[in-house]
Amino acid sequence: MAEGSELPESMPVVALVGPTAVGKTDLALELAERLGAEIVSMDSMQVYRFMDIGTAKPSLAERRRVRHHLIDVVDPDQPYHAAAFVTDAWEAMAAIRRRQAWPLLVGGTGLYLRALSQGLFAMPALDERVRQELRDRLAGEGEARLHAELAAVDPQAAARIHPHDHQRLLRALEIHASTGRSWSEHLARQGPAPAALRILVLGLTRERRELAERIQRRVASMMEQGFVNEVENLLGMGYDAGLKSMQSIGYRHVLTYLGGVWSWEECLQRLATDTRRYAKRQLTWFRRQAETVWHHPRDGEGIAQRISQFLAAPRSGTRARG
């Protein structure tokens, strides 16, 4: 963690996650204004300057309503990855807490959330036999026995992992058994430890057809706002079409249209289809995370109440659960 970015122990953090076009931005603004939060973007594309329409960035007016962080961080030809996000997010959250506000993480990049909450490090290949043995032991011996074992070999991890959180419990034991070092040792060597975060993860979801219709409307809106001109301007600024940022959903579709490979109608159709597929992958990712508590975006009142209860709860070293 960078100097001056220290956070209070078990600092409460709320993450609002979900697929593209589900309605995260509008609800996040409402919640932030109501509860006194600042928004930390958790979007792997909104970090890029000059890429506004295709990344569905909050507008300048929306950013004036609520303070936002980690938007327009790097140029399109500069690298940005999960490790950089973790460093930047810790610094942003520390600054937010110094202003007596609390951070609201908002976005659909699951890897960023996992890196922030669980730590990120270069993991060697793990032995599948160890993994299966631990699964069998969990079924036969129970979570309490395995959690006690974790406490003996990695007390820091045991303090932040609830016995019910089987996924992380097994992962921590697997890391120790496979590498001879605890998860906490790996984190201490290769990145900031997540022990100071107490996270409530709120997932937004809609009925499949409803989400598909919203995606279709978003594609049309992006084009009306001048998405093609945005891509042309990026090319005119010298940003190569082969850049990772330029090959993301939306940008690569418009580039293919500009290159004469697709017709306008085919570009729109493929963009909508690929965006729906991306949204499905996002949902699959977050649904695999046992800690995610799901709501419909229209349930703003219920979400606000859940957040208020979470923020008022006594501090502990474990992850909040639904």
Q: Report the alpha-carbon angle 262-223-248, nearest 5.
A: 65
pLDDT of residue 193: 46
pLDDT grade, residue 290 (50/70/90)?
confident
Q: Which of 85, 90, 105, 173 has its CA nearest to residue 135?
A: 173
CA distance 138 to 295: 30
Q: Which of 119-133, 157-171, 213-227 has the highest mean pLDDT?
A: 213-227
Mean pLDDT estimate for the chain:
89
Share of the chain above pLDDT 90, in %: 68
pTM for this entry = 0.77
> Higher-confidence residue: 213 or 116?
213
Q: Report the alpha-carbon angle 61-66-70, nearest 5.
A: 95
pLDDT of residue 163: 82
> Tokens 């036969």 belong to which residue?
140
> Tokens 């022990």 belong to which residue?
195
> Higher-confidence residue: 197 or 308?
308
Say yes or no to pLDDT of 131 above 90: no
CA distance 9 to 174: 27
When mean pLDDT is compared across 24-33, 66-75, 78-87, the lowest value belongs to 78-87
> Higher-confidence residue: 4 or 81?
81
pLDDT of residue 320: 46
pLDDT of residue 317: 43
Provide mean pLDDT across the span 14-29: 98
What values do phi and psi take at 249, rounded to 5? -60, 135
Summarize pLDDT for 225-283 with one digit per residue, the tens. 999 999 999 999 999 999 989 999 999 999 999 999 999 999 999 999 999 999 999 99
Summarize pLDDT for 188-223 with one digit per residue, the tens. 665 444 446 789 999 999 999 999 999 999 999 999
CA distance 227 to 172: 45
Provide mean pLDDT across the span 285-304: 93
Alpha-carbon Rg for the chain in angstroms: 21
- CB-based contacts of 299, cutoff 8 Å, min separation 6: none
What one-character DSSP code corresponds to residue 127? P
